[in-house]
Amino acid sequence: MQFYQEITFIVQEDISLNFIRNQAFKQLHVALVDMHNRQQHKGIGFSFPGYVFEPDQGKIGLGKTMRIFAQTEAELMALNAGSWLSRLTDYVHISSIKPVPNRVTHYAIYQRKQVKSSVERLARRYAKRKHVTFEDAMAHLNGKTPEYCDLPYVQMKSESTDQRFHLLIHRVKVTAPTEAANFTTYGLSHHEQLSAVPEF
């Protein structure tokens, strides 16, 4: 990843940091979906320099900044983050496109973490996959307990089901860049083909 843009979330008295970040992330997700649909492009990844996950100390969050990375300046220009975030101009500052510093020694893989949130949800999915009744699926899952996770997240809303969900974000620090630059439309690394972004 050779180029980046930094987005700083500007907290206002009447609007929380989480709300601003959620809205910006949602817009950038839509931008990546649009870009993917037009160009089959998957080379843009996100990072959260202020990411913290120290639950024992009560410190969990994504921070006040977000970076968008790409291999080329042209890719970031094609994304046109400023246009997608234009309705949030009072709440975000978007830097110009800059080259990644030469002496980066830290990298991270940001991935989506999905948890098994409720037995009922699992049963619905199981019933659909296995073509069995909901009752049979519940019987099959008898004794299963839901998973809980307190990772930092972005609040999202599914366009297909209209359901709100937490997009849990897990960070893994790595010492070297990965060869792959293949990201989801959430700007996060795929699980099968890991893609790291610079940390500085």
Any idea which residues carry the catalytic annotation? 29
> Residue 26, SS3?
helix
Asked if 164 contacts 156 with a C-beta cutoff of 8 angstroms, the reply is yes
Residue type, 67: R
Q: What number of other Cβ atoms are within 10 A of residue 119's Cβ?
A: 17
Both tokens of residue 179? Answer: 């060869």
Which sign, positive or negative, has the C-alpha torsion 90, 94, 95, 100?
positive
Helix (H) or strand (E) holding 83: helix 81-84
DSSP letters of 37-103? HHH-----EEE-TT-EEEGGGTEEE--SEEEEEESSHHHHHHHTHHHHTGGGTTTEEEPPPEEPPTT
